[in-house]
Structure 1
Amino acid sequence: MADKRERFVALAEKRVSRAIHELRLIGNLSNTHNYTYTHDDAHRIVTALEQEIKLLKGRFAAGVLKNQPKFKL
């Protein structure tokens, strides 16, 4: 069991750090000195990222609900 936990922690730290780095790079696209974009472009990027976060939350919530004890009288 500890092996699964250790793998989870190692992968989570690596993947979340990489995702944060990539999000910051996407944020750099907002620099109007270097790039030109429309409000629609920005909205589509943010909407796509929000949708992925929503799906991610759902996957973790489903995992939590599966492990909760069932109601019994």
Structure 2
Amino acid sequence: MKEKETKRDKFVRLAEARTNKIIDMLQLLGNCSNSNVYDYTQQDVDKIFNAIDAEVKEAKKKFSKIESKKSTRFTLD
């Protein structure tokens, strides 16, 4: 019989998978920096990374048990 997954085991499994997914997505986002293929402004870049920074701060607050707000979807326009 299979042992029941502990809360710690579940956290490690999910946190690793989700963290790696975020890292993969950031690497894909970095591919958008190729100015031979894409046209963007510094304002676009600042807006993207401000949104990402804000979400990282909100996620950290949740781990600190500090009240966080639900964010909205990101758009450049």
Q: Provide the TM-score with structure 1 as the length reference.
A: 0.79
Tell me the number of residue pairs that the alignment of Structure 1 and Structure 2 aligns: 62
User: Which digits, 9 at most, give the CA deviation of each residue in 1:35-57, with x for residues without a partner?
Assistant: 11011111110000000001011
Greater helix share, structure number: 1
User: Which digits, 9 at most, give the CA deviation of each residue in 1:46-72, with x for residues without a partner?
Assistant: 000000001011111117xxxxxxxxx
CA–CA separation in structure 2 for the residues paired with 1:18 and 1:38: 26
Matched ranges for 1:39-54 at <5 A:
39-54=42-57
Structure 1 residue 20 and structure 2 residue 4: aligned? no
Highest Rg: 1 or 2? Answer: 1
Q: Counterpart in 1 of 2:14? A: 11
How much does 1:34 deviate?
1.2
Q: Counterpart in 2 of 1:61? A: 64
How much does 1:17 deviate?
0.4
CA–CA separation in structure 1 for the residues paired with 2:54 and 2:7: 28
Q: Provide the TM-score with structure 2 as the length reference.
A: 0.75
Over aligned residues, Cα RMSD in angstroms? 1.4
Q: Which secondary structure state, in structure 1, belongs to the residue aligned with residue 53 of structure 2?
A: helix
Query: What is the aligned-residue identity percentage?
Result: 40
Structure 1 gaps, min length 5: 64-73
Quick one: which of 32, 37, 40 aligns to 2:35? 32
